Structure 1
Amino acid sequence: MGFAEKVMNDLGGAMASVLAALGVRLGLFGALAGGPATAKELAGRAELAERYVREWLWGLHSAGYLEFDPGSERFTLPPERAAVLADERSPLCLAPAYGLVPPLAGMLDEVAEAFRTGQGIPHEEYPDGLYRAMERMSASWLDTMLVEQWLPAVPGLTEALERGGKAADVGSGSGRAVLAMAQRFPGSEFTGYDLHKPNVDRAAAAAADAGLNGRVRFEATDATTGLAGPLDLVTMFDVLHDAPDPPALLAAAHRALEPSGGVLLVLESNAAADAQDNRGAPGTILYATSTLYCVPSALADGGPALGTLGLPFAELAELAGRAGFASTEEIPLRSPMNALYLLRP
């Protein structure tokens, strides 16, 4: 009975996640963050049908997301919950993560077949909604932490970029990290490398819109052979564990870095040294993402498919040492999901 209760709670969480994904897509959390509302009032704010909104409200009230006042018949999203569900400028915002649920669940047939055959699933077979959700997730920390906290945590790095340095982002996606750094350091040059051509096209368009084309470029190039130095900074954000050849990618970064002061920043999942210690909600979320996306797509690229939690500190340090790096250290983060590492040549 105790385990049956756990399963019921997990199923309830899965259903709540789908309702939350719907709420994020329709702007319901943002509308409710504006103040308490009845179903009719919230439907008016969001320009939606009241009957649907009412059922959504009761569903997430049942899940413990919302509060309800019987006297006024109004639902409330308290400010501390709004910071997690409605404010994408907040470093604690988890709303974009709900966007992973529908596209990953929609790939169950393909993943089940991959289980039977052992084959991978190419990136292009996943729906575009998955990549949009990933971009929004990364934006929650790139926009609030990268230039304000992570780069200043490396002694001398911001000064080098302010003087006019050169940096590269490997697996640059739609260019969020590159654009954030380029805007902060107008005297430096930045290059983004990504194997997925649609990502490069989106990033180039974003750079043009931001007026950064003169010192920002994006290339649909394999960084293991195309990374050009000498560079003051190379970044790999949630990239290395999915790479077709992680040792070769680290070796390429080592060759490209300026020997006396260049650094490599690697963001990876916060993985325990022993897989059995990756427990609880963070481990479940990351292993599910790994099963449904990271392992299949990495296998399709011919990679070792390390998995989302496949690079704990000791494993990364060992790979870095073999690639020629002299030191690997962790930069403290207040995050249950991510770990940031600093590698020096």
Structure 2
Amino acid sequence: MDASKQDKFNEEKLNSFIGQLLSDLGGAASVPLVRIGDTLGLYRLLHEKGPMTPAALAGASGYHERYLREWLSAQAASNYLAYDGKTGAFSLPPEQAMVFAVESSPVNMIGAFDMMAAMVENQKMVETAFRSGKGVAWGNQAGCLFCAVARFFRPGYLNNLVSAWIPALNGVVEKLQRGARVADVGCGHGVSTMLMAKAFPNSTFIGYDFHEGSIAEANAHARAHGVTGNLRFEVGLAKDYPARDLDLVTFFDCLHDMGDPHGAAAHVRKSLKPDGTWMVVEPMAQDTVEANLNPVGRLYYSASTMICVPTSLAQEERTALGAQAGESKLKDVIRSGGFGSVRVATSTPFNMVLEATA
């Protein structure tokens, strides 16, 4: 950089930006530490037993004190744990416990750290795709991605799907209570499908996904949780799954990943009864880039670059909507399948729930 250009920078802005980068790097460095804390049950122990010194945590966990001391200090420096200098004890405040230790919490974010690790593992494949323009097939992505995605979305589904999202749809709760036929397309490990099957035992549910490994995991989870009477999982594509005369079709955080979402929309319309409903849950996004330049958009654009766009570009049609497609573009895709009415039924800071009917 020549001297004339160096003289033009604003030192205050530069220092502010360096401060931001230090925070970003600290967050990135925390990814493996958070995952260790989760895997080894350290957050759970601190949540259950309260403040502990490194020696006390070593005694309770059986892990090496020296490693624990460094891990605890790093967590306190990140404000993930609290530290009492008088007692030398570390604790997990209740607010942080909601993020790291309480599995049923609506803001449990452990799955997000697993996703960050998967994105790093994806780097070489996606970097190659930048050069070639080709995609990275879902089944070829990082090995831990599928479990991470299921874990990341589970808190939102657990706390919203049955209590808020389905009731926001016109007349759907009543149909499910009486007994309806439902297909959950792009079901992954089947978290959403099982939640619905448990809540509405009079209805029957079929979970479809094109990834055989995910369907195997979904079937295993259903057996483990005893949810098999009104539920089954099958390998199937969004454009040609065999179920017909459906009362409800659900797509959870998957339409934007599809190579041919227009074809999927047309197939959904054909598979529904005339009075059936299509529920599409997608990441929250506005219709312009500038409106999405915020913390949620930052997370979703990054995940879209590393996961969603490569997945779509590996399929037919290669539409690549991306995780921040926005309401207008999503509605256009849904209407292209023959749906006359499309509306945002409800939303959260992380999701929009679209309802489509004939």
- Tell me if TM exceeds 0.5: yes
- Verify: 1:313 aligned to 2:324, yes or no: no
- Verify: 1:343 aligned to 2:356, yes or no: yes
Structure 1 segment 324-339 matched on structure 2, within 5 A: 324-335=338-349, 337-339=350-352
Asked if the contact 2:80–2:92 (Cα under 8 Å) also holds between the matched residues in 1, the reply is yes
Asked if the contact 2:146–2:214 (Cα under 8 Å) also holds between the matched residues in 1, the reply is no
Match of 2:202, SS state, is: coil
Q: Which residue of 1 aligns with 2:3?
A: none
Q: CA deviation at 1:211?
A: 4.3
Q: Which residue of 2 aligns with 1:277?
A: 291
Q: 1:44 to 1:134 in 2, by over 3 A?
A: farther
Q: 1:217 to 1:8 in 2, by over 3 A?
A: same
Asked if the contact 1:333–1:340 (Cα under 8 Å) also holds between the matched residues in 2, the reply is yes
Match of 1:224, SS state, is: coil
CA distance in 2, matches of 1:194, 1:86: 30
* Runs of at least 5 residues in structure 1 that lack an aligned partner in the other structure: none
Q: Which residue of 2 aligns with 1:251?
A: 266
Match of 1:298, SS state, is: helix
Deviations for 1:194-233, whole angstroms, at most 9, x for unmatched residues?
A: 1001111222233334444443222212131224221111
- Verify: 1:18 aligned to 2:32, yes or no: yes
CA distance in 2, matches of 1:19, 1:209: 30
Asked if the contact 1:191–1:216 (Cα under 8 Å) also holds between the matched residues in 2, the reply is yes
Q: Which residue of 2 aligns with 1:51?
A: 66
Match of 2:273, SS state, is: coil
Q: Which residue of 1 aligns with 2:246?
A: 231
Q: Which runs of 4+ in 1 moved over 6 A?
A: none
Structure 1 segment 126-145 matched on structure 2, within 5 A: 126-145=141-160
Deviations for 1:26-65, whole angstroms, at most 9, x for unmatched residues?
A: 2222221121111122233333211111111111111122
Q: CA deviation at 1:193?
A: 1.0
Asked if the contact 2:259–2:314 (Cα under 8 Å) also holds between the matched residues in 1, the reply is no
Cα RMSD of the aligned pairs, angstroms, is 1.6
Q: 1:212 to 1:75 in 2, by over 3 A?
A: closer
- Verify: 1:117 aligned to 2:137, yes or no: no
Q: Which residue of 2 aligns with 1:72?
A: 87
Deviations for 1:252-281, whole angstroms, at most 9, x for unmatched residues?
A: 111222212x21111111111101221232
Question: What is the TM-score of this pair, normalised by structure 1?
Answer: 0.94
Give the % identical residues: 36
Greater gyration radius? 2
Question: What is the TM-score of this pair, normalised by structure 2?
Answer: 0.91
Asked if the contact 1:21–1:101 (Cα under 8 Å) also holds between the matched residues in 2, the reply is no
Q: 1:243 to 1:94 in 2, by over 3 A?
A: same
